[in-house]
Amino acid sequence: MASNKDRKKAKKANNVDENSEPQLLFQEVIDETDVLDLNLYSDINDEFFNEANRVVQFLMEAKRHFEASRIKRYSDIIFNLHRRYVDEVNDNEVLRPQILSSEKKLRLALELTSTSEEAMQKLKDLLGDAWKESDASALREQLVQEKLQEVLIKCEGLADRNSGTTDDTAEFGHLAKYKNIILRERDRLAGEVVDLEKRLATNRYYSENLEYIIRNNEDAMSKMASRAKFAEGERLNVESKLRALMKTMEEQKEAHGKTMMKLDIANRELSETTRKLSQKISDYDRQRVHLDKYRSEVNALNKAMHKNEDDISDLTKNQKNNEEMIKQLRLIEKEKSNAVSQLTSRLKKSIEDQNNATTRMYKLNRKVMMLNSEILRLKNNINSLEKDVLNANGRTDDIRRIKETLQRERDSLRSDIIKLNNTMADLKHDMMLKANMISSLNLDMNKLNVKLDEAYILKSKAEKERDEMAQEMETLHERIENYQDQISLKTSQVNDLTEKLHEKQREVHSYKKQLESVHSEKMMLQRNLENTTQERDNFRILQAKSGHQIQQLTTEISANEVKINSLNLKIEHLNNYIKELQSDLKNKENLVAALRKDMREMKAKNEMLAKTISNDELKFMKMGHELEEMRKERNLVGLQMVRRNDEIVVIKEKLQIAQNALDNGTTQYNQRVEDIRLLKKEISNLHTESECLKHAIKSTADMRKEIVRLQRALNQEHIRIRALTEDARTPTGVHRWRILKGEDPKKFELLEKLQLLQKRSLKQSIENSNLKNKLCEAQKTNETLKRMLSHMPTVEIKHKLVVQQRINRQMAKKLKTLAAERSLDMVELKSRQCIINSFAGKISEIGELSILSDGKNEIKSAILDVKNEISKSNMSLVPQEYMECGLFSDADTKTSTMCAKLTDILNSEVFKDL
């Protein structure tokens, strides 16, 4: 297993090298300078690091990410080391003159101390000599006094002996000879004693001063020791504060890392939204192209309608000419009665066939209802499964990605389901063509519609409850796909049955084209109603979802803003705190400098008195060691502060980068908002174009009304011409006689039925206009809801894009329905044109034949052909008239009304005249 893994890794590495190496187009510049000769201060500069970044960029473009990451890491390490080296060099350059000046001061202090030691030694020697001289003078005084006492004693003895001698001999005795010498010696000794006393006084004064100075120095040393202790305590406090700052800085780093992660996630979401917006823009361009095509088709249809109007005017002229020929055909009505009876028998047979077909369609409808019940059961299962979805709130982003893929698959499956539903609608359409004769089915359908309404109400309630769990529900659509596969199998079975039905319906298809067109219009209106109800429900759901999501997003934005403000305040507090610490450090440095000066002064004084105070010298040595330790600690603190300053600079740079990223994000967000506004404008333009198309469709309906009015006017003109021709033939005024109800009941019934049909057609047109007004109101509400949604503040554009996709799909459905309606209208127009052209051709042939009086048999055969074609055309027109009256008639009387309609048409005046 390990060998296979190694082989796979080797293959992947070889593939990466093969794919990445040929893409490198970096021009390597050969640098022949030796590494040992590089100047780390000047040669390693911005150009060096720009070159390294360029190499990393080329490697990233070549998809050699490992090498690029390693080189980037090494370049960052070299950059940090170079920056610190440059800072240290600059600090050394700044401190070098200070060090030189301090060395000079130390030399002077040492010289002063050496000179002071010599002076102190001399003073000590002088003091010793002075004490010796004082002792010698004291001995001399004692000896002199002793000698004086001896002399006095001797003088007293001589006085006793020689009382008569002189005073000098009395004083000096036998030493009178040495009188002058003694006096001189006495004076000299007295002078020496005075000098010695003066020296003693000066020495005593000097010793007292020295003792005072020593006491002052001891007091200063005690003060310095207290200050040193205080400085140590402050140093410990500063170290604790620095540790707290380090912790806060690490917390800030973690917080900034989290914010950077959030910014990366936001950037990814923005990139996804931009990609989706580009896709939506392409979809809108495609829709515009389709709308242009539809406009061109509408213009072509308008042109065709104008041409049809011209043809209708020509046909009215031809009809006026043909009415005179039709009067002659009335005489042959008796011969056509047999053909009419045969046609009625054929009609009965066709009705029986239709009944058989309707029974089969009833069975198919029952199967369809079973399928709908199964679908409802599956929906109930889905609702039960939705309750289990509440436990799936803690899924991660990977599940969301899976959700997006499932959404795409769901959209594709929905499109397939829509296609299948369209096929099912077509099948229902074909089935309803034969189900119009059965009243019981209509009653069942009404009951089922009531049940469906109740089900829709329950569904709306369930959807309201499901709004909160709509995001997690998409994971369960995989199970729905299995059920949809089963539905597709059943729909395939239904398609097989419909193919069998088509084989049997081909015989009857020619009689039912016009009826299909009318019923298709009805079904299209029903589909439009269903689509509008679905759109309304979807819009309500989307409004609730969007409101909930907007509230969540606003809360998240407010929380994020509060967090950002709190972080900014913390950063400001930290910056202020750092500034305060820097000021405190400066004050401490000033205190340390002052202490150094004081210590130097004290050292100079203590060194001058070092010989006399050995204990003080030892204390000064200890203080010197302590000061060196304090210097080392200060240097360490300075280095730590430099490092902290560097880290603060790096953090500030990161904050600036994050701020720039936020600014870029805000700019991109504003651009997206502008893009959304432009998209909304385009949507409003599309709505206006759709309204224009609807107005054009309304104009087609107005054209139909004008056609009906012209037909009525034609009928009135026919009646007037008929009355005038009868008056010309019978001048006895028979045309003025009033036809009573009892004399001609069939004609009266026909008139009543025509009036009823006209009323029903008016009701149908009014209901169509009401439906269109409802559609317009629904569209207006839709537009108001869209405006409300557009004015709401949004952050995630994703949900709006999903809503826009749904709206586009619904618009595409509507356009498809409009195209189907247009194609059906074209089919109707073409069929009616063919009928009118066939009638015009036959009538022209009959007119030519009537000119020839001898060809009676040919006229009869032509009249029979015309009769058959008229009967066929009436049979083809009967379903349409039946549908016009059947929409507003009772369900139980449809078959009877159809039969009565057929008999009335066959027994009309046309066939009587024939």
Of 25-29, 109-113, 508-512, 863-867, the one with minimum mean pLDDT is: 25-29
The whole-number pLDDT of residue 20 equals 41
Instruction: Spell out the alpha helix ranges (H) of 21-64.
Output: 46-61
Query: In this predicted structure, what is the pLDDT of residue 734?
Result: 47
pLDDT of residue 776: 86
pLDDT at 883: 40
Answer positive or negative: Cα dihedral of 791, 794, 799, 802: positive
Helix locations, 792-890, DSSP H: 798-851, 856-886
Residue 473 confidence class, pLDDT cut points 50, 70, 90: low
Nearest to 849 by CA among 860, 838, 865: 860
Q: What's the confidence (pLDDT) of residue 847?
A: 66
Residues 841-861: tens digit of each pLDDT: 877 777 666 555 445 455 555
Task: Decide: residue 114, CB within 10 A, 0-12 exposed, 13-18 middle, 19+ buried.
Answer: exposed
Say how far apart CA 838 and CA 361 lie, in whole Å: 35
pTM above 0.75, yes or no: no
| Amino acid in the structure at residue 7 | R
Residue-level pLDDT at 515: 63
List the end-to-end C-alpha distance of the chain, in Å, as a whole number: 99
Assign 165 a pLDDT band (cuts: 50, 70, 90): very low
d(CA 546, CA 801): 12
Under DSSP, the state recorded for 740 is P
The DSSP call for residue 389 is G
Mean pLDDT, residues 132-154: 70
Q: Which region among 198-207, 558-567, 572-581, 853-862 has the lowest average model confidence (pLDDT)?
A: 853-862
Q: Is the pLDDT of residue 736 over 60?
A: no
Mean pLDDT for the stretch of residues 630-643: 79
Contacts 24+ apart (CB under 8 A), 762-766: 763/888, 764/884, 764/887, 764/888, 765/701, 765/705
- Tell me the longest C-alpha to C-alpha distance in the chain: 237
The one-letter amino acid at 187: D
Neighbours of 732 (CB within 10 A): 9
Least confident segment among 366-375, 716-725, 730-739: 730-739
Q: Is the model's pLDDT at 51 over the cut of 80?
A: yes
User: Above 80 in pLDDT, residue 604?
Assistant: no
The confidence score (pLDDT) of residue 303 equals 76
Give the pLDDT confidence score for residue 882 in this predicted structure.
38
**What are the contacts of 139-145 at 24+ separation with CB within 8 A?**
140/189, 141/189, 141/193, 144/185, 144/186, 144/189
Q: What's residue 256's pLDDT?
A: 67
pLDDT band at 664 (very low <50, low <70, confident <90, very high): confident
pLDDT band at 301 (very low <50, low <70, confident <90, very high): confident
CA 683, CA 232: separation in Å to the nearest integer?
76
- Model pLDDT, residue 10: 44
Average pLDDT value for residue range 247-264 = 75
Mean pLDDT (the chain, rounded): 70
With a cut of 60, say whether residue 591 has pLDDT above it.
yes
Nearest-CA neighbor of 846 among 318, 474, 406, 416? Answer: 318
Q: Is 733 helix (H, G, I), strand (E, B) or coil?
A: coil
- pLDDT for 671-693, tens place per residue? 888 888 888 888 888 888 878 77
Q: What pLDDT score was predicted for residue 881?
A: 41
**pLDDT confidence tier of residue 800, bands split at 50, 70 and 90:** confident
pLDDT level of residue 8 (50, 70, 90 thresholds): very low
Q: How confident is the model at residue 781 (pLDDT cuts 50, 70, 90)?
A: confident
pLDDT at position 880, please?
Answer: 42
Q: Round the CA-based radius of gyration of the chain to a whole number and report it.
A: 61
Mean pLDDT, residues 161-188:
60
pLDDT at 388: 63
pLDDT at position 389: 60
Of 630 and 36, the structure prediction assigns the larger pLDDT to 630
Are 604 and 113 a contacting pair, CB within 8 Å? yes
Q: Pick the residue with more confidence: 1 or 703?
A: 703
Q: What is the pLDDT of residue 828?
A: 84
Residue-level pLDDT at 877: 45
Buried b (16+ CB within 10 A) or exposed e, 864-887: eebbeebbeebbbebbbbbbbbbb
Q: How confident is the model at residue 649 (pLDDT cuts 50, 70, 90)?
A: confident
605 pLDDT above the threshold of 80: no
Model confidence band, residue 897 (pLDDT cutoffs 50, 70, 90): very low
For a pLDDT cut of 70, what percent of the chain falls above it?
Answer: 59
With 50 as the cut, is the pLDDT of residue 830 above it?
yes
User: Given pLDDT bands bounded at 50, 70 and 90, which one contains residue 383?
Assistant: low
Q: How many CB atoms lie within 10 A of CB 764?
A: 17
Query: Which tops the pLDDT comparison, 640 or 145?
Result: 640
- If one counts every other C-beta atom within 10 angstroms of the C-beta of residue 514, the result is 20
Is a pLDDT exceeding 70 seen at residue 768?
yes
Above 50 in pLDDT, residue 630? Answer: yes
Surface-to-core class of residue 571, CB atoms within 10 Å of its CB (0-12 exposed, 13-18 middle, 19+ buried): middle
CB atoms within 10 A of CB 754: 13
878, pLDDT greater than 60? no
Give the pLDDT score at 306: 74
Question: What's the pLDDT at 258?
Answer: 79
Amino acid at residue number 48: F
Q: Give the pair of three-digit tokens for residue 640.
A: 């730590």
